[in-house]
A and B are shown apart, each in its own frame.
Chain A
Amino acid sequence: MLSHLPILQVILPLVAAPSCMLIRRSSLVWFFSLLVSAGALVVSVLLLQQVIDSGPISYRLGGWEAPWGIEYRIDLLNAWVLLVVTGLGTAVIAAARQSVQREMDDLRQTLFYTLYLLCFAGLLGIVATGDVFNVFVFLEISSLATYALIALGRDRRSLWAAFQYLIMGTIGATFILIGIGFLYMMTGTLNMADLALRLPELGSSSTVLAAFAFIVVGVCLKLALFPLHMWLPNAYAFAPSIVTAFLAATATKVALYLLVRFIVTVFGIDFSLTSLPLQSLFIGLGLVGVFVASVVAIYQVDIKRMLAYSSVAQIGYMVVGIGISSVVAMQATLLHLFNHALMKGGLFLALAGLVYRLGSSRIDAFNGLGRTMPWTMAAIVIGGISLIGMPLTVGFVSKWYLITAAIESDMWLVALLVVLGSLIAAIYVWRLVEAGYFRQAPAGGDVTVGEAPLSLLVPTWILIGANIYFGIDTRLPVEVTGAVAQYLLGGIQ
C-alpha cells in the first residue's frame, strides 16, 4: 500500500470525480469530496515524510522500467508542492458547501464537485509525474475542468471569461506540446530524469532552444506571468467565489512548479539561465508585472478583480526569485509559493463569505463592514497585511528572503523595487480598511446582514491563522524550502 502512494494521490480524486455523479445529493457529494481531498492531504503528508527520511521515490506505472514506461518521481520539490496543493484544496472544499449552495442551483452543485475533483486530480498529476507527456495530459485535464468551473459563475460574463481563458490556455498547452515534440525528436525520451541526462550532450542546438522557448512561453501563459496574464483577472472576478479561492490558491502554484521543474531539472539551470539572457528577462518581467498589476489593482472597483491583479503582482515576485537563481532566491520563490497560497486562499474565502451575505464583492459592499461582519473584515485585513509583507505574517518571511537574495547577488535595485512594490500593495489594502472601518454602512440598507456562516468562517480563519502562525514560527516552511532549494541548486554553488 505504502509503495503505491505516489499514484494514489492522483487516482483517488480521478476515480472519485465520476462517482459524484452517482451520489447526486449535493450535501453528500460535498462530504465525499471533502473526504477525498483530506485523503489526498494525508497521502501527501506521508509522501513528504517518506522523501525527507529516505530520499526521492520512484514509482513505475504498470511495472514498466523507467525511461520506457511512465515514471512518477516524488522528490523534495514536488512533495512540498503536493502538500501545498492538497492542503489548500482541502481547506477550500471544507468551506465550499454553503457558498456553493447560495451561488448555484441543485444540479450544478454536483457538477461543481465533479469538476473540482477532476481539476484537483489534474493538478496533482502534473506535480507528481516524472514524464513530460504526462504533464501535458494532466495539464489539459485540469485546464478543461477549470474552464467549466469558471463558466459556473452566475454572471454571464463568466462565460466570456471562460471562453477567453480556453483560447489562451489551449494555445499555452499546445505550445508545451510542441516543445515536448522537439525534445522527443532530439533525445527519443519523455522521462524527465532521462531528458536531464541527455540534453546537456546536445549543447545548445537550435531545436533544443526552440523546445525551451515553446515550453517556457506555454507555462508562463498558464502561470499568468505579465504580459501573458490577460485571461486571469476576468476569470477570477466572474468565477464562483469558491472556484476563485481554489484557483488562486492552487492552479498558479502548480504552473510555477512546472516552470521551476522545466528550468531547473529538465533543461538544467546552467542551460536555462546562464547561456540565455533569461535571468534579466525573468527579473525584468517579474518586476514590471509587480508594478503594473499593483497599480491597476488600486483602481479596481470589484475587490475580487483587485485581488486577481494582486495575484499577477505576487507571481511577479516569485518569478523574480527564479530569475536571481541563487539558492536563497529559489528558497524565497518556494516560500512565496506556499505563503501566497495561504494569503490568497484566506482572502478569497473571506470574500466568499462577503458574497454569501451581500451578494457583491464591490468596494461599496465593504462600507461599514467592520461593524456588520467583524470577523470576515478582520480576516481580510490580516490577509491584506500579509500581502503587503508586514512582520509577523508569512508575507514578510518570503519578502525578507527575496530581498536578502537580491542583496547577496548585488542587485540593490531589485531589492529596492521589491520594497516599493510592497508599498503599492499597502495602498490597495488600505482602500479596504478605509471602507470597512471608516465609512458608514448605507442607511436603510439590509439590517439583517450578519457574520458569514461558520462553515465558511472557520476555514477562512484556519488559513488566516496559518498566515500568522507560519509568520512567527517559520521553522517548517523555511527548513523544507531551504532543503528543496539546496537540492535543486546546490550543485552549482
Chain B
Amino acid sequence: MLITSLYNYWIVIALMMIGLYMVVAQGNLIKKIIGLNIFQTSVFIFYISVGKVDGGAAPILIEGENVYSNPLPHVLILTAIVVGIATTSLALALVIRIMRAYGSVEEREIQAEEEKREIQAEQEKREMQAEEVQC
C-alpha cells in the first residue's frame, strides 16, 4: 500500500541512484554527464511531487475550486532546471576541449596519457643532467 501510494518518491530514489551510479562507475566523460543529468532530473521530479496537493487543481483562479496545488516548488525547480542546463553545457564544452587536448574522452586513457607524459618529462630531465655532467 505504502509502496504504491508513494510511487513517485520511489521513482525519484531509483533515478537518483541510477544517476549517481553512472557518475561514479562510468569512465566515459559523456556518460558521466548523462548520469549527472539523470541525478539532477530525479531532484526536479522530487520537487514537482512535493508541490502536488491531492485533489488540488492547477494554481490558476478557477471558479468553484478551493484546493490548489502549490506552485512555489514548481517555480523553484524552473530555476534549478536552468542551472542544470548551464552545468550540462559547461561540462560538454569542457569535454570538447578535453577531446582536443587528449584525443580521448575516456577517463582511463586520459590518465594513461598523463602518466606517459610525466615519465617522458622525467627522462628528458635525466638526459639534460647527464649532458651537463659530460660538459
A interface residue numbers (CB < 8 A to B): 133, 136-137, 140, 144, 147-148, 151, 156-157, 159-160, 162-163, 166-167, 170-171, 174, 177-178, 181, 184-185
Cross-interface CB contact of A160 among B20, B23, B40, B98, cutoff 8 Å: B98
Q: Tell me, rounded to whole Å, the shortest Cβ–Cβ distance linking B120 to chain A.
A: 14
Q: Tell me, rounded to whole Å, the shortest Cβ–Cβ distance linking A257 to chain B.
A: 21
Cross-interface CB contact of A147 among B23, B76, B90, B102, cutoff 8 Å: B90
Task: Give 21 pairs: A residue, B residue, CB < 8 Å, sorted on A.
Answer: A133-B79, A136-B83, A137-B83, A140-B87, A144-B90, A151-B97, A157-B114, A160-B98, A163-B29, A163-B91, A163-B94, A166-B91, A166-B94, A167-B23, A167-B32, A170-B87, A171-B20, A174-B39, A174-B43, A181-B50, A181-B73
What per-residue 1/0 map shows which CB atoms of B31-45 lie under 8 Å from chain A?
010001001100100
Given A136-B80, A137-B79, A140-B83, 8 extra CB contacts under 8 A = A136-B83, A137-B83, A144-B86, A151-B97, A156-B102, A163-B98, A167-B32, A170-B40
Q: Tell me, rounded to whole Å, the shortest Cβ–Cβ distance linking B18 to chain A.
A: 14
Q: Which residues of A contact B29 (CB under 8 A)?
A: 163
Cross-interface CB contact of B47 among A147, A167, A181, cutoff 8 Å: A181
Cross-chain contact B94 with A171 (CB below 8 angstroms):
no
Cross-chain contact B110 with A177 (CB below 8 angstroms):
no
Instruction: Tell which of B40, B46, B90 has the most Cβ of chain A within 10 Å.
Output: B90
Cross-interface CB contact of B50 among A148, A151, A157, A184, cutoff 8 Å: A184
Q: Is chain B's binding surface mostly helix, strand, loop or mixed? A: helix
Q: Which residues of B contact A140 (CB under 8 A)?
A: 83, 86-87
Q: Tell me, rounded to whole Å, the shortest Cβ–Cβ distance linking B131 to chain A.
A: 11
Q: Tell me, rounded to whole Å, the shortest Cβ–Cβ distance linking A372 to chain B.
A: 20
Cross-chain contact A178 with B43 (CB below 8 angstroms):
yes
Q: Tell me, rounded to whole Å, the shortest Cβ–Cβ distance linking A172 to chain B.
A: 12
Chain B interface category by residue count = 20 to 34
A-B residue pairs, 3 tightest by C-beta? A156-B101, A140-B83, A163-B94
Judged by a CB distance under 8 angstroms, whether B95 is at the interface is: yes
What per-residue 1/0 map shows which CB atoms of B96-135 lie under 8 Å from chain A?
0110011000000010001000000000000000000000
Cross-chain contact A147 with B86 (CB below 8 angstroms):
no
Q: Which residues of A contact B90 (CB under 8 A)?
A: 144, 147-148, 166
Bound Cα distance A167, B88 (Å): 10
Bound Cα distance A162, B110 (Å): 14
Q: Which residues of A contact B97 (CB under 8 A)?
A: 151, 159
B interface residue numbers (CB < 8 A to A): 20, 23, 29, 32, 36, 39-40, 43, 46-47, 50, 72-73, 76, 79-80, 83, 86-87, 90-91, 94-95, 97-98, 101-102, 110, 114
Bound Cα distance A187, B29 (Å): 39
A159-B79 CB under 8 A given contacts A166-B87, A167-B23, A167-B32 = no
Bound Cα distance A151, B36 (Å): 20
Q: Tell me, rounded to whole Å, the shortest Cβ–Cβ distance linking B53 to chain A.
A: 12
Cross-chain contact A159 with B94 (CB below 8 angstroms):
yes
Q: Which residues of A contact B46 (CB under 8 A)?
A: 178, 181
Bound Cα distance A174, B87 (Å): 11
Bound Cα distance A163, B110 (Å): 12
Q: Which residues of B contact A144 (CB under 8 A)?
A: 83, 86-87, 90
Q: Which residues of B contact A156 (CB under 8 A)?
A: 98, 101-102
Bound Cα distance A371, B94 (Å): 41
Bound Cα distance A151, B91 (Å): 11
Q: Tell me, rounded to whole Å, the shortest Cβ–Cβ distance linking A134 to chain B.
A: 10
A177-B87 CB under 8 A given contacts A136-B80, A163-B95 = no
Closest to B86 in A: A144
Q: Tell me, rounded to whole Å, the shortest Cβ–Cβ distance linking A151 to chain B.
A: 6
Q: Which residues of B contact A170 (CB under 8 A)?
A: 36, 40, 87
Cross-chain contact A159 with B98 (CB below 8 angstroms):
yes
Q: Which residues of A contact B95 (CB under 8 A)?
A: 163
Bound Cα distance A163, B32 (Å): 10
Bound Cα distance A170, B91 (Å): 10
